[in-house]
Structure 1
Amino acid sequence: YYVAEDSSQGEACLVLYSERGSPHRRLALTNYYASLYTPLIGAAVDRAASLTAIAADLTRARPGCAAIDLAPLAPEDDDTAALVRAFTSQGWYVKRYFRFGNWHLPCAGLSFADYMRARESQVRHTWSRKVRKFRRADGLARIRIVTARDEIEAAMDAYEQVYAHSWKPPEPYPDFIRRWAYVCAENGWLRLGLASVADVPIAAQFWFTMQRRAYIFKLAYAKDYAHWSAGTVLTAHLIEHSLEQDRVTAIDYLSGDDPYKQTWMSGRRERVGLIACNLGNPRGALIAAYEYAGVLRQRWRRLGVDPAAAPDLV
């Protein structure tokens, strides 16, 4: 959905896709690994006006679009508020829903020493104890950070070996991970941390750093070597590298509310989704009724009302 370059809004487009079984729905062009979505592509001068123009095109589109699902969005972002206004102005029902939490650390100018001093005493003591234990492994313990393209094959083999022996379910798209490692290395973004004992990889973390922001993409440790606490040691090592070498302004865990993330990060924010239902489309009106019924059920539960005992909605 395109706003022409000669329009008053400036050039911009919104790229959506539909699945074969649901051609009446449009979805954000994101995938399983997406942690943040920006709806507009282009250099629109007035992004809100561009989104309103695109919402109007979607309303008029034939065959009709019944519903749109856009996620994950930053709730505080101007585009998110503009999306809500754009679709409601065209008579659509818009519902916001929670997607996942995002733990992060603002760290511009922060040294590793100052970072560790800001951690709780239990975290500092645990970390120092585990680092000493790892370093005392008779010279057999090793940590390295892979950044170069010519090291990726061996490094990703080690990463996949750790992942296969971890607590995590099988990686759904392993080829995607390996190819993304190549993209990161070619652009100077890759920070692939590997911890090993006696040349056996026991922990791996896939970070990438761009525009002075470090993103923690994937991590795992081998269950049989959990007593080495290599995951903790490797996390601290990569944080130190990010602060002291890359001089990043933020470290970001991307998606998920896993408890360990709170140990290392200082802030949490949420990512949300928007479902917009076209009330001028019969199928869209039905979807809107279903989504609104879900909102009412949540309200009843918060009030202690049994939804099954509530009056029928229709």
Structure 2
Amino acid sequence: MGGHEGEAALVPWRALDADVIGRFADPAADWFASHAWFDLLSRVAVPPGQHAGCVVGAAAAVPVWCRGGVVMAGLSSPYALEFTPVLPAADAAARREGGAFGRVARARSRVRLDALDPDQPGLAAFLAGVAAAGLVVQRFSHFGEWFAPVATDRFDLWLASRPGALRSTVGRKLKRAREATRFALIGGGDALAGGIADFERVYAVSWKQPEPFAGFNPECMRALAAAGLLRLGVLSTAEGPIAAQYWAVSGGRAMLLKLAHDEAAAALSPGTVLTARMIEAILRDDRPSVLDFGRGDDPYKRLWVDRRRERVGALVINPRYPAGMALLARGAAGALRRRLLRGAV
């Protein structure tokens, strides 16, 4: 189903053949670049009025959201830590694939690609190829992702490297919590259904806003468990669960995807305790090289991990459409206004 040299085709997601599916990463090596991840989104995180597809070139595969036969955006979501299309690493090939994608994307005034890793091999050349197809590519800062390398499987040694405030809090809270709470770590099997139910119960009474796609978290946990990548933690008292969170462990990277706790149990610091217990278990059992606290600059993250990387986006704009021209004009006016404001300071 791959396109001919210099050509690409928009293919419905369910119509992808084995050759194209095989281009995606093994989930155990890179969960967010795997067919399993994109397939999950295509089933349970679909924007209203859209459906999943893939722009297939000779050597590239770019999952997308579509309406009819028109590309709307990259197949990403607020749940994604990154959007990783399949691209050739060599610049010349990536540029050709970008041109082929651009010719498909020209059917709309704007296509938005979110959550890109600016260091992905081939990405810069791919976007240059898109621009060479007669489109304007505007990059923007999308979100920060907090992480830290790990060089030990011992929780005590890892904790010793963290700020004093966290060391003190975790030491005090863990001692009390070990007497008053029960910790369960679930990877799949018979315990999965009960663990998911506990997660949903905690989430419902937490401070969290309702999910935009109510079934996403349970389905994501099931998909991760099927791939052997799920680490679901539940902290309970005799009255029931008070905190829950789930991680994915893939490619040496342990990623915290969702967490919640019951504010009524705040005296036990359930969120802090469960995060510490999860890191302890993951370091011991999985020995990751990176702990990743995911997207967003929440202040608590920098206590646990101390490095930040940027995910970027790209607006692919067709200036031949009035809406595209208007978008470019607004962007130019905004850039001028920012320059003038900087000059006035």
TM-score by shorter chain over 0.5: yes
* Structure 1 contact 39–79 (Cα < 8 Å) conserved: no
Does residue 35 (structure 1) correspond to residue 75 (structure 2)? The answer is no
Kindly tell me: are residues 45 and 76 of structure 1, through their superposed partners in 2, closer, same or farther at Cα, counting changes over 3 Å? closer
Kindly tell me: are residues 3 and 293 of structure 1, through their superposed partners in 2, closer, same or farther at Cα, counting changes over 3 Å? farther
* Structure 1 contact 147–190 (Cα < 8 Å) conserved: yes
Tell which has more relative contact order, 1 or 2 (C-alpha 8 A, sep 6+): 1
* Structure 2 contact 102–131 (Cα < 8 Å) conserved: no
* Structure 1 contact 59–65 (Cα < 8 Å) conserved: no
The secondary structure found in structure 1 opposite 2:295 is coil
Does residue 151 (structure 1) correspond to residue 191 (structure 2)? The answer is yes
> 1:130 — aligned with what?
173
Q: Distance in 2 between matches of 1:57 and 1:262?
A: 41
* Aligned positions of 1:193-272 closer than 5 A: 193-272=233-312
* Aligned positions of 1:1-314 closer than 5 A: 3-4=3-4, 11-19=59-67, 26-40=72-86, 44=88, 46=90, 48-58=91-101, 60-61=103-104, 64-109=107-152, 111-137=154-180, 141-304=181-344
Q: Give the Å deviation of 1:213.
A: 1.5
Q: Distance in 2 between matches of 1:6 and 1:60?
A: 10
Q: Distance in 2 between matches of 1:185 and 1:136?
A: 30
Q: Give the Å deviation of 1:249.
A: 0.9
The secondary structure found in structure 1 opposite 2:211 is coil
Q: Distance in 2 between matches of 1:116 and 1:110?
A: 11
Q: Distance in 2 between matches of 1:211 and 1:62?
A: 32
Q: Deviations over 1:178-218 (max 9, x none)?
A: 11111111221111101011141001111121222211010
Query: For this pair of structures, how many residues does the alignment match?
Result: 296
| TM-score, with length taken from structure 1 | 0.84
Q: Deviations over 1:33-77 (max 9, x none)?
A: 122011336xx463x334433443455459733222111111233
* Structure 2: gaps spanning 5 or more residues: 8-56
| TM-score, with length taken from structure 2 | 0.77
Q: Deviations over 1:108-159 (max 9, x none)?
A: 445322211111222111111111121233xxx1111111232122111111
Q: Deviations over 1:12-33 (max 9, x none)?
A: 233333347xx87631011231
* Structure 2 contact 95–127 (Cα < 8 Å) conserved: no
Q: Distance in 1 between matches of 2:215 and 2:66?
A: 24
Runs in 1 of length 4+ with deviation above 4 angstroms?
58-63
Which amino acid counterpart does residue 171 of structure 1 have in structure 2? E
Kindly tell me: are residues 55 and 283 of structure 1, through their superposed partners in 2, closer, same or farther at Cα, counting changes over 3 Å? farther
Larger gyration radius, structure 1 or structure 2: 1
> 2:24 — aligned with what?
none
* Structure 1 contact 102–269 (Cα < 8 Å) conserved: yes
Q: Distance in 1 between matches of 2:188 and 2:5?
A: 40
**Greater mean alpha carbon deviation, residues 118-127 or residues 86-95:** 86-95
Q: Give the Å deviation of 1:3.
A: 4.0
* Structure 2 contact 58–97 (Cα < 8 Å) conserved: no
Which amino acid counterpart does residue 4 of structure 2 have in structure 1? A
What is the percent sequence identity of the aligned residues? 34
Kindly tell me: are residues 63 and 185 of structure 1, through their superposed partners in 2, closer, same or farther at Cα, counting changes over 3 Å? closer
